[in-house]
Amino acid sequence: MAPKFSPQRLPHTPDGPYGTPGIAACTADLSKVYGTGDTGVVALDRVSISFGEGEFTAIMGPSGSGKSTLMHCVAGLDSASSGSVRIGSTELSGLDDRQLTELRRDRIGFIFQAFNLLPTLTALENITLAMDIAGRKVDGAWLDRVVAMVGLSERLGHRPAQLSGGQQQRVAIARALVSRPAIVFGDEPTGSLDSRAGAEVLGFLRDSVRELGRTVVMVTHDPVAAGYADRVVFLTDGRLVDEMIQPTADRVLDRMKNFDVRGHTN
């Protein structure tokens, strides 16, 4: 069945040598099939979506609907079977492994459910590690802004074990932002936090969009988390089926109730 919904709010197809102004990343007819033949699984089915600069998008949908696959393909962690993915003006399918690694390092930030901090390093060392390894100079003024925004100024010398879960995720947010990435991806970033720490982390993610002008795309199954975003897109069976602008947790929850098990609107 063809999807009923096609988000028109932002252009899907980049044009011009520098990509479409205002678009941090986009896909056009992105499909991903795992395996081949009868055993092949269509994880993404012709998904066309744009992520605007300075926008906070939540990706929602039932388990198995393709959320992680979409994020991994846009972030250059997984390759598409067909269709296009661009970060700015860069078409990912044209990149070799080394170029993809550089793109992820220089232009993309990641925040995972597990904080993935190195236990022997201080908070500050964790934040700057990737840039230090790459031999890139850390912009001190930007680092100060990022650290102040996530409220870590007093804790930069602490090791992860000396920090709460929420504080560790704040270090991970600062680590994702320090290189001024074009786009930051969060994979259930509050999944291992209690609701208070989760609310703090979501507030900081929103601040990174509002105050620091970053672009954030977050995969979540939690309507409360999605309520912090500027828009929510809904996936079902690998297809983009709906979009909600200026969501609230209640509206997201209502919308989810209106999807049956296959996710189609009742």
Interface contacts to ligand ADP, rule CB under 6 A: 34-35, 41, 43, 61, 63-69
C-beta of 55 vs 187, nearer to ligand ADP: 187
Question: Amino acid letter at 126?
Answer: N
CB of 27 to ligand ADP, least distance (A): 14
CB of 218 to ligand ADP, least distance (A): 12
C-beta of 39 vs 266, nearer to ligand ADP: 39
Sheet with 216-219, strands from edge to edge, namely 108-111, 183-187, 216-219, 56-60, 231-236, 239-245
C-beta of 200 vs 222, nearer to ligand ADP: 222
Q: Could you say which DSSP state residue 94 is in?
A: G
C-beta of 100 vs 121, nearer to ligand ADP: 100
For residues 205 and 186, is the Cβ–Cβ distance under 8 A? yes
Q: Could you say which DSSP state residue 132 is in?
A: H
CB of 145 to ligand ADP, least distance (A): 32
| Tokens coding 144 | 């100060």
Compute φ and ψ for 49, nearest 5 degrees.
Answer: -155, 150
Q: Could you say which DSSP state residue 19 is in?
A: -
Nearest to 142 by CA among 174, 183, 185, 169: 174
CB of 35 to ligand ADP, least distance (A): 6
CB of 62 to ligand ADP, least distance (A): 7
C-beta of 29 vs 78, nearer to ligand ADP: 78
